[in-house]
Amino acid sequence: MVPDDHLTQSGGFPLVGGPDCIILSSMKSLVSTLIAAIALLAGLFDAANVKAAQPVDVALVLAVDVSRSMSAEELAIQRDGYAAAIAHPSVIRAVEQGLHGRIAMTMFEWANDAHVREIVPWTIIETPQDAENVSTIIREDQTIGQRRTSISGAIRYASKLLLDVPYQADRLVIDISGDGPNNQGAAVTRARDLAVEAGFVINGLPLMTTGGFGGQFNIPDLDEYYRRCVIGGPGSFVIPVNDWAQFPEAVRRKLVLEIGGRVPEEPARVYRAQITFGQPYDCMIGEKMWRNLRERFFLDP
């Protein structure tokens, strides 16, 4: 007698309940599971692409100086000033009044040509809670001052971030703050020109303060240095800070201007980029100061 599990219907098809049928049923179940998983992943990728393709009024890179010419207290004031400004009602209002009602922002610290450290990755700010979340990240961040000052390195890194920005931005802006001239890396004017050619705007927040190790590299006309050597692009401007007490307000005003793309209301305190036919400015002053000090005290390059 032939066992039941070898019985077949006419035409050679297995009887219901045989092992072949069980295998076929399992394969169908596996295929259905794979199809569902692929559909789920496709949905997730589509959602990610939709989010990445979000239009924003501006993609803003905040590049923050942490060179040793700034004291630990000044670094803390700088950190708290940015944190407070980003969540300030006037900044939120500027975001809400934009065409798209949202901006993209990232923040990193810089010092020498080899030192950059991400503080806030690319993030959408659309609501007060978004801004508060970014503010908390900045406020809780800690840093240690680093050697040298490479504004050119900061511009180069910021440019890379803007080239890879994951949003559709109407404007691309680099926001540089620092308390001294470029003294290491490529020439700052070369980095600036490449960034402007790429369609980026560079604004400056020169910190004309004293304190910290390395204050001998401060120059009295840092605002003019930033205006002549650092900033560039349509509507670019400089807001100098002469005292740390001014810092929170200066950051707040600069963010409002950058987010809204507006003309400064107080031009006497905000220096717009402009062509000048006066005496040429030495944009290599920082490199020369470092070279003179190195030769005098036999410092490392």
Residue 156 within a domain: yes
Residue 57: how many CB atoms within 10 A of its CB? Answer: 22
Q: Please give the average per-residue pLDDT across 69-83, as a whole number.
A: 88
- Cα–Cα dist 161/124, whole Å: 15
Query: Do residue 105 and residue 48 come from a single domain?
Result: no
Task: Give the DSSP letter of residue 28.
Answer: H
- Cα–Cα dist 125/102, whole Å: 6
Q: Of 117-126, 160-169, 269-278, which gets the smallest average pLDDT?
A: 269-278
- Looking at the chain, how many residues does it have? 301
* Per-residue tokens: 114: 């080899």
User: What is the pTM assigned to this prediction?
Assistant: 0.78
Fill in the amino acid letter for 155.
I
Query: Do residue 38 and residue 135 come from a single domain?
Result: no
Q: Which domain CATH number covers 237?
A: 3.40.50.410
pLDDT at 268 over 50: no
Query: Do residue 48 and residue 58 come from a single domain?
Result: no
Which residue(s) pair with 110 in the sheet?
Answer: 65, 116
Query: Do residue 176 and residue 293 come from a single domain?
Result: yes
Query: Do residue 152 and residue 203 come from a single domain?
Result: yes
Total structural domains within the chain: 2
Query: Do residue 126 and residue 241 come from a single domain?
Result: yes
Domain span holding position 255: 54-274+282-297
According to the per-residue pLDDT averaged within each range, which of 45-49, 138-142, 187-191 is highest? Answer: 187-191
Start-to-end Cα distance in the chain: 95
For the chain, helix, strand, coil in percent to 5 are 45, 20, 35
Share of the chain above pLDDT 90, in %: 57
Mean pLDDT across the chain, nearest whole number?
83
* Three-point CA angle 61, 260, 140, nearest 5°: 40
* Per-residue tokens: 125: 């700010």
Query: Do residue 148 and residue 39 come from a single domain?
Result: no
Q: Of 19-23, 107-111, 116-120, 150-154, which gets the smallest average pLDDT?
A: 19-23
Residue 227 is predicted with a pLDDT of 96
Query: Do residue 123 and residue 48 come from a single domain?
Result: no
CA-to-CA separations, 21 to 28, 34, 289, in angstroms, rounded: 11, 20, 85
Question: Which residues, at least 6 apart from 233, have a Cβ–Cβ distance to it below 8 Å?
Answer: 195, 196, 199, 200, 201, 202, 273
* Per-residue tokens: 112: 């020498």
Alpha helices in 53-118 (DSSP H): 72-86, 89-96
- Cα–Cα dist 183/222, whole Å: 13
